Amino acid sequence: MADVIAVIGAAGAAGREVLQVLAARGTGVERVRALETEVQRGDALTYGDDHEVPLVKLADFDFAGVAIAIFAGLPAIARVHGPRAAAAGAVVVDMTGAYRSIDGVPQALVPVNPRALRAWSRHRAVACPPAAAVAIAMALKPLHALVPVTALSATVLQSVSGAGKAAMDELFDQTKDIFIGNRRDPEQFPKQIAFNVIGAEADDAATGRTREEHEIAGAIGALLGPAIAARIITAQVPVFIGDSIALSVTFERAIDPAAAWAALHDDRDLAVTAPVPGGEADQDAATTPVEIVGEAPVYVSRLLSDRSDARTLDLWIVADNLHRGQALTAVEIAETLLRDHLTPRLGSTPEA
């Protein structure tokens, strides 16, 4: 079949979420292949409410007949098997970050820059942006259309699900151990994550920032325009799912907070719980990660003006990094490629 979708790393947290998104959006189980590096006979994963999809060993899998290969596991796996999938005629949709640094591979977010998908054919691949960049770009899209954004700074409080299932298990186990008086050395994080906040350790001595922080900043430029100067700082927090982001945005000229609120409110991909600027405070406005698990919108729960600078707005945004930031982003790319860019024959060139 020309529209088969393979999910690599299907048993991990991100891979399982991809399967659930595919099922929820009506992709028939017969069109899905679930792949893992290690598989026992009879292994299967839940698909929707009524089906299971068998797990297939990645090394033994023939990608012939696969239209889209969504890589949701480790970057090293995508680097090895992504080219193999592309050589067999599939288009790689990379969630792992392995393809972001490859020149000519577009970074795409369908609600923000769908035209980027036209460049899929150079490497038969599309890179998904980091989850934090997805949330930031979606929140900025209507504001950038209202008044161009020139610069931003963001503090990203990352949930552990972004680091995978093993990281989520470590938070659970550490929390339980602390209550019963046990202690064990951390394995997935450099320090204890339960009841703690872990600042990122720099990879770049010149700037003091991490590779991920640079990637988030670069992705925002790829999605919204390279003229935007982005400064990002990240920290790991003891939350299972959902990133919270403090965002300060500078615009080309003065921006009316009420007009900004209206632009955000009118965007169907956002959920604005922040009160109208100048209106009465709403105690229920401060949306938290626990409340938005499994939700597609990016939530804007604070919108603050700066009396000293009419060109600046501050936002507090929350998004499900696993669902909105990763899985839904990848599935939207796959669906758009199949609908708008690929003909029924695998190996075809983009439609004009």
Q: What is the pLDDT of residues 184-194, one digit of tens each?
A: 899 999 999 99
- Whether residues 75 and 146 share a domain: the answer is no
Number of neighbouring beta carbons within 10 Å of residue 190: 11
What per-residue confidence (pLDDT) applies to 283? Answer: 62
What per-residue confidence (pLDDT) applies to 348? Answer: 42
Residue 174 lies in a domain: no
Provide the token pair at 183.
């202690």
- Whether residues 93 and 217 share a domain: the answer is no
Query: From its phi and psi, is residue 145 left (phi > 0), alpha (psi between -120 and 50) or beta?
Result: alpha
- Whether residues 272 and 331 share a domain: the answer is no
d(CA 162, CA 298): 16
What per-residue confidence (pLDDT) applies to 319? Answer: 98
What per-residue confidence (pLDDT) applies to 281? Answer: 66
Provide the token pair at 74.
């480790």
- Whether residues 8 and 147 share a domain: the answer is no
- Whether residues 64 and 137 share a domain: the answer is no
Residue 89 lies in a domain: yes
- Whether residues 210 and 225 share a domain: the answer is yes
What per-residue confidence (pLDDT) applies to 284? Answer: 67
What per-residue confidence (pLDDT) applies to 352? Answer: 34
Place of tokens 């609120």: 261
The CATH number covering residue 47 comes to: 3.40.50.720
Residue pair 329/112 in contact (Cβ under 8 Å)? The answer is: no
d(CA 49, CA 135): 28
d(CA 65, CA 340): 19
Residue 350 lies in a domain: no
What per-residue confidence (pLDDT) applies to 102? Answer: 95
What is the H or E stretch that residue 173 is in?
helix 165-180
d(CA 182, CA 340): 55
d(CA 135, CA 118): 23
Residue pair 66/89 in contact (Cβ under 8 Å)? The answer is: yes
d(CA 55, CA 47): 11
- Whether residues 124 and 147 share a domain: the answer is no
Q: How many domains does the chain have?
A: 2
* Helical pair 131-146 and 211-224, crossing angle rounded to 10 deg: 40
Residue pair 243/159 in contact (Cβ under 8 Å)? The answer is: yes
Residue 179 lies in a domain: no
The CATH number covering residue 260 comes to: 3.30.360.10
Residues of the chain with pLDDT under 50: 1, 345-352
Residue 221 lies in a domain: yes
Place of tokens 């033994």: 60
The b/e string for 272-286 (b: 16+ C-beta within 10 A; e otherwise) is: bbbbebeeeeeeebe
Determine phi and psi for 46, rounding to 5 degrees: -65, 135
Query: From its phi and psi, is residue 295 left (phi > 0), alpha (psi between -120 and 50) or beta?
Result: beta
- Whether residues 12 and 57 share a domain: the answer is yes
- Whether residues 120 and 45 share a domain: the answer is yes
Those residues with Cβ within 8 angstroms of residue 281's Cβ, 6 or more apart along the chain or in another chain: 275
What per-residue confidence (pLDDT) applies to 293? Answer: 96
- Whether residues 151 and 277 share a domain: the answer is yes
Provide the token pair at 315.
């936002």
- Whether residues 123 and 242 share a domain: the answer is no
What per-residue confidence (pLDDT) applies to 42? Answer: 78
Those residues with Cβ within 8 angstroms of residue 150's Cβ, 6 or more apart along the chain or in another chain: 227, 228, 229, 250, 251, 252
Residue 167 lies in a domain: no
**What is the distance, to the nearest Å, from the Cα of residue 124 to the centroid of all Cα atoms in its chain?**
20
> pTM of the prediction?
0.93
Residue 190 lies in a domain: no
**What is the span of the domain harbouring residue 35?**
4-128+327-342
The b/e string for 308-339 (b: 16+ C-beta within 10 A; e otherwise) is: eeeebbebbbbbbbbbbbbbbbbbbbbbbbbe
Residue 48 lies in a domain: yes
- Whether residues 103 and 221 share a domain: the answer is no
DSSP letter at 233 equals: E
The b/e string for 31-70 (b: 16+ C-beta within 10 A; e otherwise) is: ebbbbbeebeeeeebebbeeeebebbebeebebeebbbbb
d(CA 348, CA 304): 49
